[in-house]
């Protein structure tokens, strides 16, 4: 039977990608197989079960993962190979596509297929537009993280395939966890989000308190995590970070560039605080307060306390 | 040391217009250097200043792209190779294929640098494909690169960790924006950039097309914003009280 393969270095993302693969498989009359490399992991069994590739190490570098999957693909000829659009997933899918000389659609959600092609939707031009993209089979794809629920599991069995030893000239010599971000922004009902309007790292404390008082979580714009390192990467919302849809999104000191708005535009209600009355965030907001966050945020906390 | 840096002339999303049907108007759209490619050029220049050698800029683009090529040369790159093709009409694999062939033609290079993703179509695919097609080790999302002798030590910035890797040269890398602060060219540099050589090539002459089926973009659309746009006035205390009231009424705050 025709197969759609799923691979992610993360079990959670692998289960999301498996959901996307179910839609592709349905359209193409295929079954879904979840790949595992080196050793079995707790990931789900999809309709076509799991395919365990033996030969690569159990936490391969992206280069080794791509080589192992390419060897198996040359022999077993899946119609599509899907990864999560994580930093590792993008590399694995792209390298695979180059090795197999097939097209690769990027950062897609709303995937589907017909007898000949895979298709999906993606943000382009920093989220200003949505493009429908399509590629004839066989094809690769990176699936936007957070776009699909995790697949509960199917009833297929375990198959094994020996692809031989793989190695990568790139050697990992150290790995250090980034400061742990325990928050789950995707499930938070309220998100207070901090931008460069916050002057120094210590000042994030008042926003963290506000988030707590609103029973929500603290997120941020990209510069705060990527450039300043004040918060872990998984706190940053937008095109290159997480996509969120809370009941309430409160943007504090965020200018509202397209790339940021792309990650929060499906929130139910958006409110924002910014000193600049012309800040684009107000165009993406239901409620806007022109003011200094250092005055407005304490005032909001007082108003909340007065209600309690 | 010879460094190749790949720079894209990207659609300027801030200037991009939408037509009445909400579709982006790409014909004649303004372009600019893809945002993070400035970090890629900066890193190439830093490697050159430390290890001597030269920096060559590779670009797949239309005639409009020359403006961005000149900007990269003004920042300090030595020469440019512009392969003509419309980036909007070819996919990531074809882009990588053409870049790889152009780089091979004038290489070998010790380090090939891209950015993690282009600012208009952010896919993060061209750099790993390029590494693969060049047949060299590839390291993505670098936030620090140290070259000594024939090897490099690189810190990769991943979602939840920082990984330190070692790789032999030659290699290809993609960089993240935190790696450096890109320089601004001076007026004199901008004037001198006009004299630096730019080699122009046709894509099909560099790498004949064919042999595989491309990604296509059947349609594009956009959704108008449907927000309420209520501006709340008053002193911070008044505004805060009104905002909290409004959010409670919306049922999003308990
Ligand atoms: C390819 C690409 C991908 C990107 N992806 C993302 C992404 O996923 N997420 C993301 O967020 N960004 C992303 N960016 C970056 C994005 O373009 C913006 O640079 C970024 O969102 C700006 O962050 P900011 O609003 O916090 O900072 P700024 O743009 O500097 O805005 C700070 C705001 O704070 C206001 N302010 C200042 N002082 C105060 C005060 N005391 N009180 C209240 N307000 C104040 C200012 O008026 C200003 O509007 C991406 C960029 C590129 C090129
Ligand atoms: N048309 C192009 N010309 C030169 N370099 C490119 C081109 N397209 C992509 N790149 C390089 O690949 C990186 C990632 O692009 P992308 O895969 O489109 O997200 C860019 O930052 C550039 O370094």
Asked whether the predicted pLDDT for residue A110 surpasses 80, the reply is yes
| Least distant ligand from the CA of A260 | 1
Residue B218 within a domain = no
How many residues are listed for chain A in this entry? Answer: 308
Beta strands B138-148 and B171-175, pairing class: parallel
Any ligand 1 atom below 6 A from CB of A197:
yes
Q: Atom 6 of ligand 1 has which residue's CA nearest to it?
A: A259
Q: Which of the four pLDDT bands, split at 50, 70 and 90, describes residue B47?
A: very high
- Residues A86-105: what's their mean pLDDT? 97
Q: What's the pLDDT at A181?
A: 59
- A142 and A11 in a common domain: yes
Domain range holding B253? 225-254
- Residues A226-252: what's their mean pLDDT? 90
- A211 and A153 in a common domain: no
Q: Give the integer Cα–Cα distance in Å for B127 and B125.
A: 6
Kindly report the pTM of this predicted structure: 0.94
Q: Which chain A residues touch B215 with a CB distance below 8 Å? A: 103-105, 133-135, 139
Domain range holding A52? 3-162
Q: How far apart are the first and last CA of chain B?
A: 62
Mean model confidence pLDDT for chain A: 93
> CB–CB of B94/B209 below 8 Å?
yes
Q: What is the ipTM of this complex?
A: 0.95
> CB–CB of B70/B193 below 8 Å?
yes
Q: Atom 8 of ligand 2 has which residue's CA nearest to it?
A: B8
Q: What's the pLDDT at A249?
A: 98
Asked whether the predicted pLDDT for residue B27 surpasses 90, the reply is no
Q: A18, A31, A49: which is closest to A111 by C-alpha?
A: A18
Any ligand 1 atom below 6 A from CB of A292:
yes
Q: Which of the four pLDDT bands, split at 50, 70 and 90, describes residue A148?
A: very high
Q: What's the pLDDT at B225?
A: 81
Beta strands B216-221 and A129-136, pairing class: antiparallel
Of A119, A177, A295, the CB nearest to B160: A177
CA B229 to chain A, closest CA, distance in angstroms equals 5
Asked whether the predicted pLDDT for residue A125 surpasses 70, the reply is yes
Q: Which of the four pLDDT bands, split at 50, 70 and 90, describes residue A237?
A: very high
- B114 and B38 in a common domain: yes
Q: Which chain B residues touch A142 with a CB distance below 8 Å? A: 123-125
Binary contact (A248, B247; C-beta < 8 A): yes
Q: Which of the four pLDDT bands, split at 50, 70 and 90, describes residue A160?
A: very high
Q: What is the widest separation between alpha-carbon atoms in chain A?
A: 68
Residue A175 within a domain = no
Question: Tell me, what CATH number does B24's domain have?
Answer: 3.40.50.620
Asked whether the predicted pLDDT for residue B34 surpasses 90, the reply is yes
- B189 and B84 in a common domain: yes
Residue B214 within a domain = no
Residue A100 within a domain = yes
How many residues are listed for chain B in this entry? Answer: 254
- A149 and A107 in a common domain: yes
- B247 and B200 in a common domain: no
- B241 and B147 in a common domain: no
Asked whether the predicted pLDDT for residue A182 surpasses 70, the reply is no
- B254 and B139 in a common domain: no
CA B204 to chain A, closest CA, distance in angstroms equals 17
Asked whether the predicted pLDDT for residue B172 surpasses 80, the reply is yes
Contacts of B208 (CB under 8 A, 6+ apart): none
Any ligand 1 atom below 6 A from CB of A241:
yes
Binary contact (B215, A129; C-beta < 8 A): no
Q: Over the stretch B213-253, which tens digit does the pLDDT of each residue have?
A: 789 998 999 887 889 999 999 999 999 999 999 999 999 99
Q: Which residue has the higher pLDDT, B33 or B222?
A: B33
- Residues A147-154: what's their mean pLDDT? 84
- Provide the percentage of residues in chain B whose pLDDT is more than 70: 100
Q: What's the pLDDT at A233?
A: 77
- B229 and B198 in a common domain: no
Residue A105 within a domain = yes
Number of domain units in chain B: 2
> CB–CB of A136/A116 below 8 Å?
yes
- A153 and A18 in a common domain: yes
| CA of A256 relative to ligand 1 center, distance in Å | 6
The number of the ligand 2 atom at minimal distance from the alpha carbon of B34 is 21
| CA of B96 relative to ligand 2 center, distance in Å | 8
- Residues B175-185: what's their mean pLDDT? 95
> CB–CB of A88/B157 below 8 Å?
no
- B195 and B229 in a common domain: no
Asked whether the predicted pLDDT for residue B88 surpasses 90, the reply is no
The secondary structure of residue A43, as a DSSP letter, is P
Q: How far is CA B199 from CA A305, B33, B77, in A?
A: 67, 19, 14
The number of the ligand 1 atom at minimal distance from the alpha carbon of A223 is 23
- Residues A193-221: what's their mean pLDDT? 96
- Residues B107-121: what's their mean pLDDT? 96
Contacts of B48 (CB under 8 A, 6+ apart): B1, B3, B54, B55, B76
| CA of B7 relative to ligand 2 center, distance in Å | 6
> CB–CB of A260/A127 below 8 Å?
no
What are the structure tokens assigned to B59, written together?
């670009």
| CA of B5 relative to ligand 1 center, distance in Å | 27
Asked whether the predicted pLDDT for residue A42 surpasses 80, the reply is no
- A300 and A194 in a common domain: yes
- Residues A74-86: what's their mean pLDDT? 97
Q: What's the pLDDT at A180?
A: 59
């Amino acid at each position: 039977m025709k197969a759609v393969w799923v691979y992610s270095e993360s079990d959670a993302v692998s289960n999301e990608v498996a959901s996307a693969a179910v839609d592709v498989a349905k359209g193409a009359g295929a079954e879904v197989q979840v790949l595992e490399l080196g050793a079995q992991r707790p990931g789900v069994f999809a309709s076509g079960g799991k395919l365990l590739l033996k030969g690569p190490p159990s936490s391969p570098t992206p280069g080794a993962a791509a080589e192992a999957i390419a060897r198996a693909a040359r022999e077993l000829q899946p119609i599509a190979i899907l990864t999560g659009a994580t930093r590792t997933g993008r590399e694995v899918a792209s390298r695979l596509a180059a090795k197999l000389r097939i097209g690769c659609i990027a950062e897609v959600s709303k995937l589907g297929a017909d007898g000949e092609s895979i298709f999906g939707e993606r943000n382009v031009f920093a989220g200003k537009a949505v493009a429908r993209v399509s590629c004839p089979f066989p094809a690769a794809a990176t699936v936007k993280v957070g776009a699909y629920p995790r697949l509960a599991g199917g009833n297929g069995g375990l198959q094994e395939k020996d692809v031989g030893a793989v190695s990568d000239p790139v050697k990992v010599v150290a790995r250090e966890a980034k400061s742990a971000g325990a928050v789950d922004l995707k499930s938070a009902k309220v998100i207070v989000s901090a931008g460069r309007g916050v002057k120094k790292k210590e000042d994030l404390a008042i926003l963290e308190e506000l988030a707590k008082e609103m029973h929500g979580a603290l997120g941020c714009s990209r510069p705060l995590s990527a450039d300043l390192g004040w918060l872990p990467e998984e706190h940053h919302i937008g095109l290159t970070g997480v996509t969120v849809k809370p009941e309430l999104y409160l943007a504090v000191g965020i200018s509202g560039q397209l790339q940021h708005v792309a990650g929060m535009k499906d929130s139910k209600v958006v409110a924002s605080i910014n000193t600049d009355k012309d800040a684009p965030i107000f165009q993406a907001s239901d409620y806007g307060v022109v003011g200094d966050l250092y005055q407005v945020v304490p005032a909001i906390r007082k108003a909340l306390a007065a209600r309690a | 040391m010879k460094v190749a840096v790949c720079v894209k002339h990207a659609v300027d999303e801030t200037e991009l217009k939408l037509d009445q049907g909400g579709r982006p108007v790409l014909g004649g759209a303004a372009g600019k250097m893809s945002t993070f490619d400035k970090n890629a050029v900066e890193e190439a220049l830093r490697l050159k200043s430390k290890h001597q050698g030269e920096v060559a800029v590779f670009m797949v683009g239309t005639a409009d792209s020359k403006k961005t090529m000149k900007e990269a040369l003004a920042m300090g790159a030595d020469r440019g190779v512009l392969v003509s093709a419309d980036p909007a009409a070819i996919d990531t694999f074809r882009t990588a294929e053409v870049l790889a062939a152009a780089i091979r033609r004038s290489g070998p290079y010790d380090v090939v640098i891209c950015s993690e993703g282009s600012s208009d179509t952010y896919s993060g695919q061209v750099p790993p494909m390029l590494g693969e097609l060049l047949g060299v080790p590839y390291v993505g999302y670098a936030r620090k690169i140290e070259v000594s002798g024939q090897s490099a030590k690189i810190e990769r910035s991943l979602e939840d960790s920082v990984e330190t890797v070692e790789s032999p040269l030659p290699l290809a890398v993609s960089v993240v924006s935190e790696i450096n602060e890109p320089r601004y060219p001076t007026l004199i540099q901008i004037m001198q950039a006009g004299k630096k050589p730019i080699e122009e090539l046709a894509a099909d002459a560099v790498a004949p097309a064919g042999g595989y089926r491309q990604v296509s973009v059947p349609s594009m659309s956009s959704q108008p914003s449907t927000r309420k746009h209520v501006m709340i006035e008053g002193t911070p205390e008044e505004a805060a009280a009104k905002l909290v009231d409004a959010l409670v009424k919306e049922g999003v705050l308990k």
